């Protein structure tokens, strides 16, 4: 809770400050892999307002920088201890102590929270990508193992009769896992790139309206990219590990490391519960819902434009059902969360995942359309690639999208059963 | 794949055998915490039929036992190495080498698989309990932390105005996790006890029909108890860890250990994909579906008997909807899996979880009925306990049971999208 932050900054009178306090969970807080370490530290200048409005951001280097710009005298900050963690062992996670360390104000006085969010918003997209990346590498390992490992026979008759058993990729339940990962990963990659393009437009377009629309989209999708891709990244690391059976549980194959490393992405840069609250509590309502309405309009128009295209019908129908569930959930929030904010909190995580399903489903519908256009043109020798896209899209629509109904049912059950018990009844 | 087993047993002529081969993933295969270690080893006697029909079970002690029954001469077996695992570090998981080690046949020649399943069926119920247990301890830790940790303010106004922030148990999204664990744990405990009673009846009843019915039930529910309670045990360890935020990721609080330890229960004693296949491929069809029909009848009759009880209506309605989804899924399997067995494999994991939801929902409906009966009697001072049961039951029906529809949708989408891709397209 940043409002409770106690680290102090006292002006030296020469434009610098003396920073004192302790920070925990500082990634790469101390190491000897670079000549200097530049810490960005939030602190409260004496007399600043209480809460988050009195927080300022400071640059606090490990070595003070001399006139020539080189690392010089040691600053009075030190690593108090290293955390023993579940994973990301390549990261020295430090307790950092600042003992009147010299720091320089970055940005405006008492504007620290806003300055930090510039970093945070980018970091959230980056962590979403981390979730996607571990999902992809875990998937690739699972595919490789499933093609190699012999166990049992295909239910529809031996597929490798020359061997004593079939490779496990013949088993439908193994394929269920592989297809789930594949379908999420390819749509997740599309969503990440789509969001990155919007972010570029938001920063660089010369057109005010385009810039605003892209900025709306990026803000709306940031918690979805972070929350959904990291939750799924972990799920898929576990799913890929399961393909290895007992061999996934020993460290030798590296699958355990993917699971242990993927776990942090659900926690840092704002735990996923916070992402869900950011989406439901802030992003939905901003500018009277301008961002979310634009997204609904875009997806709805895509469905409408392709409604009469027979080859697209199964994709647009499933996407439209998902969109309709998402719109119903949004309407439910509009009607029930203003008077009783706990209804928003109770809905938040399911809403974030419902949003993710529709966003990823929209990516698949677009990829299906593109694949069909390419196939109609002759595909230039890449027909198997586009056929695979269409099958994976169908899998996503048939097997993954139905989850939107469960999410909507949970959301519209409201906060009552969550909030009814007194704390001592747990 | 036990059919591929290569360990050999050669008769010594005196009733003993010389066992040679290697076994991996042997829990507590070597240690010095007991005077002797008795290994149960599957091996193939020379000339035995190929496949699982030629496997026999042997007793192979670390120290041969002398005439007085005491550990004597060292047998020729040894631990080749210890596995470095993700968790369960209290267990020495060994590679065991048998080099003409002396062993004694246990049970019938070539009857090893059946003998092993006597152990395995009990072990599967035990591992299900392991899943439930880690879910419970993780929950208890999360509750304790959620009452203690201060962060943010309740959306409905400060609940601890004397403190700088509220304990996080006031936040609906934290309660969503706590209630999910609580609702699953209490129903899981009921299911485990219910199954244990049936197992006692199956072994001890003097009535043939009772014994058969109880044995049917135990066989049917064993893969559900193992598969569902261990999948959920892991999910809940992760969920409880998330309540701790960054503090859950460091080893200090022990939440990481629960996650790492819970993971193995989804893998050993038959990975959960195997449990699902056991349910769909064996248990459903046995004796023309006698066991599953009896279960459907029992749950259906419970719903019918309580249909006109107003206080039970919301519980029986949700349970009946779940049962109806499960029956529809079962009918779909009957109609689609005979001609195309891949449809059974493609449905298996979702079917197992759908079955689990209905079984746990049935437990909650019974607990709700019992709680209401107690409250009607005056509850003898325990009204808060029974009120809590009713709220938790309602949570399960409103928030968890809707998942049955998604499971049914996946099952009835069939194997097509899973099996369409050639292996090289992954």
Q: Which residues of B touch A147 (CB under 8 A)?
A: 423, 426
Beta bridge partners of residue B26, listed in sequence order: B94
Rounded CA separation B303/A404 (Å): 28
Q: Out of B24, B250, B418, name the one closest to residue A172 (CB).
A: B418
Tokens of B269: 């004693």
Nearest chain A alpha carbon to B262: A249
Hey, are the CB atoms on B172 and A143 less than 8 Å from each other? no
Give SS3 for B105. strand
CA distance A36 to A16: 19
Local confidence band at A262 (pLDDT 50, 70, 90 cut-offs): very high
pLDDT exceeds 80 at position B333: yes
Q: Which of A254, A418, A422 to mutate to test the interface with B (most CBs of B within 10 A)?
A: A418
Residue contact A276–B173, C-beta within 8 A: yes
A-chain residues within 8 Å CB-CB of B423? 147, 167, 169
What's the pLDDT score for residue B379?
A: 85
pLDDT at position B193 is 97
Residues of A in contact with B266 (CB under 8 A): 242
Q: Does the pLDDT at position A1 exceed 90?
A: no
Tokens 């061997």: give the residue: A163
Put simply, the answer to whether A238 touches B263 (Cβ < 8 Å) is yes
Which whole number is the average pLDDT over A262-267? 98
Distance from the A306 Cα atom to the nearest Cα atom in chain B, whole angstroms: 22
Gap between the Cα atoms of A95 and A107, Å rounded: 25
Rounded to whole angstroms, the Cα distance separating A242 from A236 reads 9
Work out the end-to-end distance of chain A between its first and last CA atoms, rounded to an integer number of angstroms: 24
Task: Classify residue B387 as exposed, middle or buried by CB count within 10 Å of its CB (0-12, 13-18, 19+).
Answer: middle
B144, closest residue in chain A (CA to CA): A426
Establish whether this prediction's ipTM goes over 0.90: yes
Helices (H), A72-154: 112-148
Are B249 and A264 a contacting pair at CB < 8 A?
yes
Chain segment A303-348, per-residue pLDDT in tens: 999 999 999 999 999 999 999 999 999 999 999 998 999 999 999 9
Q: Residue B1's pLDDT is what?
A: 78
Pairing relation of β-strands B93-106 and A71-74? Answer: unpaired
Residues of B catalogued as catalytic: 269
CATH placement of domain A114-270: 1.20.140.10
Rounded CA-CA distance B314/B365 in Å is 10
Check CB contact under 8 Å for B250 and A409.
Answer: no
Give the helix ranges, DSSP H, for B306-398: 313-336, 342-377, 383-395
C-alpha A318/C-alpha A182 separation (Å) is 19
Q: What's the CATH fold of domain B2-110?
A: Butyryl-CoA Dehydrogenase, subunit A; domain 2 (2.40.110)
Which among B155, B249, B391 has CB closest to A420? B391
Nearest CA in chain A to B152: A1
Kindly state the average pLDDT of the residues B132-155: 97
Q: How confident is the model at residue B2 (pLDDT cuts 50, 70, 90)?
A: confident
Nearest CA in chain B to A136: B426
C-alpha distance from B14 to closest chain A C-alpha (Å)? 34
Q: Which residues of B touch A264 (CB under 8 A)?
A: 249
Q: Do A176 and B346 touch (CB under 8 A)?
A: yes
pLDDT of B385 over the 80 cut: yes
Whether B252 and A84 lie within 8 Å, measured CB to CB: yes
What is the rounded average pLDDT of the residues A288-308?
Answer: 97
Residue A267 Cα, gap to closest chain B Cα (Å): 6
pLDDT per residue as tens digits for the range A90-127? 999 999 999 999 999 999 999 999 998 888 999 999 99
Confidence at residue B4, expressed as pLDDT on a 0 to 100 scale = 84
CA B340 to chain A, closest CA, distance in angstroms equals: 7
Each domain of chain A, given as residue ranges in start order, spans 2-110, 114-270, 276-413
- The b/e string for A48-70 (b: 16+ C-beta within 10 A; e otherwise) is beeebebbbbbbbbbebbeeeee
Asked if the model's pLDDT at residue B348 lies above 90, the reply is yes
Optimal mutation site among B83, B153, B155, B342, interface A, most CBs of chain A within 10 A: B155
pLDDT above 80: residue B45: yes
For residue A78, pLDDT over 80 is answered with: yes
Q: Identify the H or E element spanning A207.
A: none
Q: Percent of chain A beyond pLDDT 90?
A: 94
pLDDT at B105 over 80: yes
């Amino acid at each position: 809770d940043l409002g409770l932050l106690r680290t102090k900054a006292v002006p030296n009178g020469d434009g610098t400050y003396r920073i004192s306090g302790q920070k925990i969970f500082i990634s790469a807080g101390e190491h000897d892999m670079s000549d200097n370490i530049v810490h960005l530290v939030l602190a409260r200048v004496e007399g600043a307002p209480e809460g988050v409005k009195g927080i300022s951001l400071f640059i606090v280097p490990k070595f003070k920088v001399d006139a020539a710009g080189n690392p010089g005298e040691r600053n009075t900050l030190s690593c108090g201890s290293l955390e023993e963690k579940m994973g990301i062992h390549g990261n020295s996670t430090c307790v950092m102590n600042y003992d009147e360390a010299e720091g320089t104000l970055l940005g405006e006085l008492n504007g620290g929270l806003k300055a930090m969010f510039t970093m945070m918003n980018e970091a959230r997209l980056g962590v979403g990508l981390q979730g996607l990346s571990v999902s992809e590498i875990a998937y690739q390992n699972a595919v490789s193992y499933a093609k190699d490992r012999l166990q049992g026979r295909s239910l529809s008759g031996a597929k490798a009769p020359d061997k004593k058993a079939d490779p496990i990729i013949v088993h439908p339940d193994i394929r269920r896992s592989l297809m789930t990962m594949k379908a999420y990963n390819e749509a997740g990659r599309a969503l990440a790139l789509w969001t990155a393009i919007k972010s570029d437009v938001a920063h660089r377009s010369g057109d005010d309206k385009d810039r605003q629309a892209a900025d709306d989209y990026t803000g709306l999708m940031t918690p979805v990219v972070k929350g959904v891709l990291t939750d799924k990244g972990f799920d898929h690391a576990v799913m890929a590990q399961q393909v290895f059976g007992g061999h996934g549980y020993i460290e030798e194959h590296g699958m355990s490391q993917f699971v242990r490393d993927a776990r942090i992405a659900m926690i840092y840069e704002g735990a996923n519960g916070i992402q869900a609250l950011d989406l439901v509590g802030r992003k939905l309502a901003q500018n009277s819902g301008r961002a979310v309405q634009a997204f609904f309009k875009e997806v709805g128009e895509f469905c409408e434009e392709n409604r009469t295209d027979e080859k697209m019908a199964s994709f647009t129908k499933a996407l439209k059902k998902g969109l309709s569930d998402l719109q119903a959930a949004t309407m439910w929030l509009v009607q029930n969360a203003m008077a009783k904010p706990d209804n928003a909190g109770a809905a938040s995580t399911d809403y974030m995942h419902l949003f993710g399903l529709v966003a990823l489903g929209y990516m698949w519908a677009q990829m299906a359309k593109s694949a069909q256009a390419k196939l109609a043109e002759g595909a230039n020798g890449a027909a198997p690639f586009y056929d695979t896209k269409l099958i994976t899209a169908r899998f996503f629509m048939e097997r993954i999208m139905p989850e939107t109904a469960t999410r909507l049912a949970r959301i519209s059950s409201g906060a009552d059963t969550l909030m009814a018990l007194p704390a001592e009844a747990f």
